[in-house]
Structure 1
Amino acid sequence: MYAVIEAGGKQYMVYQGTRLKVEKLPVQEGQTVELKPILIGKDGGEIRLQTGKVIAEVIKHGKGKKVIVFKFRSKKNYKRWRGHRQPFTELLIKEIKEE
């Protein structure tokens, strides 16, 4: 059984036991989160839209790798370096429930 969930404006296809990094959620480490799935599918081919729930455990919070933003204008003596590290929450999918 699998589910497609939405978190932080992105969609993820998850199975039970999947670990994934999503946009930072306002939940403490070790707590569980209930996510609304967009769709739930079975291995047999049956697909249901927006029925059920996905239960995940928050493993940790952190920051991703640094992304460098460099701006440059030729012949104008203009250079700007900026770095950015996106915060994330790592989830472990415990179970997918149908309703």
Structure 2
Amino acid sequence: MYAIIQTGGKQYRVVQGDRLRVEKLPFQEGERVELKPLLIGREGGEIQIQKGRVVAEVVKQGKSRKITVFKFRSKKNYKRWRGHRQPFTELLIKEIKED
């Protein structure tokens, strides 16, 4: 059984036991999170639309690797170096429930 969930403006296909990194969610490590699925399907079977829930556990809150943003204008003596680390929440999918 799999589910398509939406969080942080992105959609993810998940199955039970998956770990995925999503945009930062306001939960502490160890808390359970319930997500509404867009659809639930079975391998080679039926698809249900928005009936059920996906239960996940927050495994980790953190920041991803640093990326460098460099701006440059030729012949203008303009250079800007900036770094960015995107915050994320790592989820462990515990179960997918159908209603």
Moved more, 5-14 or 39-48: 39-48
Unaligned runs of 5+ in 2: none
1:82-93 correspondence to structure 2 within 5 Å: 82-93=82-93
Unaligned runs of 5+ in 1: none
Runs of 4+ residues deviating >4 angstroms: none
2:94: which partner in 1?
Answer: 94
2:45: which partner in 1?
Answer: 45
Moved more, 36-45 or 82-91: 36-45
Kindly state the Cα deviation for residue 44 of structure 1 after the two structures are TM-superposed: 3.2
Note if 1:64 corresponds to 2:58: no
TM-score (norm 2): 0.98
Cα RMSD for the two superposed structures: 0.6
Distance (Å, rounded) in 1 between the aligned partners of 2:12 and 2:52: 16
Kindly state the Cα deviation for residue 25 of structure 1 after the two structures are TM-superposed: 0.6
Aligned residues: 99
String of CA shifts for 1:12-67, please: whole Å, max 9, x gaps. 00000000000111011101000000110012321011110000000010000111
TM-score (norm 1): 0.98
Distance (Å, rounded) in 2 between the aligned partners of 1:28 and 1:84: 23
1:5: which partner in 2?
Answer: 5
- Equivalent residue of 2:26, what SS? coil
